[in-house]
Amino acid sequence: MTRQPVFDANAAAGGKDLGDLPAWDLSDLYAAPDAPEVERDLGWLETEGAAFAAEYEGKLADLSAAEMLACLHRYEKIDMVGGRIMSYAGLRYYQQTTDSERAAFLSDCQDRLTTYTAPLVFFGLEVNRIDEPHLQGLFDANADLARYRPIFDRLRKMRPYQLSDELEKFLHDQSVVGATAWNKLFDETISGLEFEVNGEVQGIEATLNQLTDQNRDTREAAARELGRVFSANVKTFARVHNTLAKEKEVEDRWRKMPTPQTGRHLSNDVEPEVVEALRNAVVEAYPRLSHRYYELKRKWLGLDRMQVWDRNAPLPMETERRVAWPEARGMVMDAYADFSPQLADLAEPFFDKGWIDAAVTPGKAPGAFAHPTVTDAHPYIMLNYLGKPRDVMTLAHELGHGVHQRLAADQGELLANTPLTLAETASVFGEMLTFRKLLANAKDKAERKVLLAGKVEDMINTVVRQIAFYDFECKLHAARSEGELTPDEISALWMSIQAESLGDAFDFMDDYQVFWAYIPHFVHSPFYVYAYAFGDGLVNALYAAYEEGAPDFQEKYFDMLRAGGSKHHSELLKPFGLDASDPAFWHKGLSMIEGMIDELEAMED
């Protein structure tokens, strides 16, 4: 029901003395967990869920067009009220996941929402039993109802995989002690881990950040400590992955889904062959992208062999610069304004109205995200900002999500949510705008080289690494369908994709085989990761069209973001003359990365 945040696992963090970092003001949702409005809304949900079912269950096929529209509006209101409650509970929890009161409040809200919305399960099941000619007749009779056609289309894609009403209701009720509970166990375990590096005890964010430290000994110490702690907890992480993968396999089997990936493709509203074309194009390009770049980086670092703690090392000519928060804000806002003053206007309230939580604090969830909350409120952005130049790119990325979510909100609660394949469009485009602005202002060749190398690394992390993650998940779920996996067996699957994706420049330390353990996407959103590569390739193609002076580009771009989830990716890309089903589309996006590596190689001459 609730639109969940999806964590950006590559978000970095690093430094101090960064200025006044903003914190969330959640009062736009609720004043406090014990505010009377929380109980009021929960009570309304209980009553309205039962009333909705009493009025409509067993009767959807007999509704007139006007009656179906009224039914949808009531359903949408229930979705919005429930979304507001869960957004508030979830955001408070992510601020401090080790706080037992916040965890209990989130769990209680989830339990009550699951109970109160159980009567609504019939809705999707009955929609899928309506004859197509009758449904089309309703759309033909009422233009306002026809606007919701994409909702019906997406629901009806599940028709071949729908279970009995009784089983669907059971799965709904059981979810709070299934995947939701295992997700929480993972979050609480990760947030509670402690790592000691150079005599200092710290959390996972600060430790992961040290993998980008200038000092190689510090990077090695952080990598080995991460490996040690992950290995010490690997049985818990293996249990989480085994259970979630098995639960998914059982449900997929009952639904007769052909592959473990099918559910993700359906929710993304993307065809399997499009994802396969993307995956194949990226894997085929590994030697031209990551292998070639990391060989360059090995030479820059003066190493005979790269170790895993060198993958995201700063370049030797890179300064240990920390970007204070006001400067970061200025960089991103200037880049947004250069593209369109409207884009900057949409981004401005995030900084001034308590819509960003930026500081690293004890127990705070790692990574970064933009949560859309509900369409009658506004998005919230979470960062772990510690001042590295890449943190500026993370800010640009999440701000792009936030702007996209604001624009799409006009579609209403049911149509605003963008499929994951397109959800990364504005975020990656915002990064690209910021990068191009910084590149244009580079003072000399050395600064340009650092910027180019940083962007290539980010794109490799977004494209190559995420497709490698996707391949790991495919292998993991396939292997789990054959039986329980030991931690060593999961680690072997992880290592089987590492050398292939990273290339011959690397050696792998002991304990690197357990680094699968901390990736939140594998737990929260199985097979989500290809959306990053999809978004990067799409934006590269879009940006090329922008640079080539495509007519009315800004207007078309905003129209695409405003569409939210109301149109298929093929419709949204058509005004730009782009087609994601064409393999050449993906090769064009990858060629932009190759071009940057070409320029870096030319700088060696």
Specify if 191 maps to a domain.
no
pLDDT in tens, 411-430: 999 999 887 778 889 998 99
- Give the list of residues 6+ apart from residue 112 with CB closer than 8 angstroms, or none: 42, 45, 46
Alpha carbon separation from 563 to 105, 255, 343, 418 (Å, rounded) = 34, 31, 16, 8
Specify if 132 maps to a domain.
yes
Question: What are the structure tokens assigned to 451, written together?
Answer: 């910027």
Specify if 78 maps to a domain.
yes
**Phi, psi (rounded to 5 degrees) for 505:** -75, -15
Question: What are the structure tokens assigned to 63, written together?
Answer: 């509704």
CA-to-CA distance for 92 and 100, rounded, in angstroms?
12
Specify if 38 maps to a domain.
yes
Helix (H, G, I), strand (E, B) or coil at 370: strand
Residue 601 has what pLDDT? 93
Which string of DSSP letters, residue by residue, matches 254-293? HHT-SSTTHHHHHHHT--HHHHHHHHHHHHHHGGGTHHHH
Among residues 220, 389, 214, which one has the least CA distance to residue 306? 220
Specify if 429 maps to a domain.
no
CB atoms within 10 A of CB 327: 14
CB atoms within 10 A of CB 55: 12
Residue 8 has what pLDDT? 55
CA-to-CA distance for 132 and 477, rounded, in angstroms?
35
What is the distance, to the nearest Å, from the Cα of residue 308 to the centroid of all Cα atoms in its chain?
A: 24
Residue 10 has what pLDDT? 43
- Could you give the residue ranges of the DSSP H alpha helices within 96-127? 100-117, 122-127
Beta-bridged to residue 200, according to DSSP, are 197
Using alpha carbons only, what angle is made at residue 116 by residues 113 and 122, rounded to the nearest 5 degrees?
115
Specify if 101 maps to a domain.
yes
Surface-to-core class of residue 373, CB atoms within 10 Å of its CB (0-12 exposed, 13-18 middle, 19+ buried):
buried
Residue 340 has what pLDDT? 96
Rounded (10°) angle between helices 530-547 and 464-480: 150
Residue 61 has what pLDDT? 94
- Give the list of residues 6+ apart from residue 210 with CB closer than 8 angstroms, or none: 197, 218, 219, 221, 222
At which residue do the structure tokens 């959103």 appear?
Answer: 525
Rounded (10°) angle between helices 341-352 and 389-408: 100
Residue 605 has what pLDDT? 59
CA-to-CA distance for 207 and 194, rounded, in angstroms?
9
Specify if 82 maps to a domain.
yes
pTM for the complete prediction?
0.81
Q: Which domain holds residue 72?
A: 31-157
pLDDT in tens, 216-253: 999 999 999 999 999 999 999 999 999 999 999 999 99
Residue 13 has what pLDDT? 40
Give the CATH number, domain containing residue 60. Answer: 1.20.140.70
Cβ proximity of 69 and 147 under 8 Å: no
- How many independent structural domains does the chain possess? 1
Beta-bridged to residue 201, according to DSSP, are 196
All residue ranges of the chain with pLDDT < 50 are: 1-2, 6, 9-15
Cβ proximity of 518 and 236 under 8 Å: no
- Give the list of residues 6+ apart from residue 248 with CB closer than 8 angstroms, or none: 260, 263, 477, 526
**Phi, psi (rounded to 5 degrees) for 521:** -60, -40
Residue 268 has what pLDDT? 85
What is the three-state SS of 18-70?
CCCCCCCCHHHCCCCCCCHHHHHHHHHHHHHHHHHHHHHCCCHHHCCHHHHHH
Specify if 105 maps to a domain.
yes
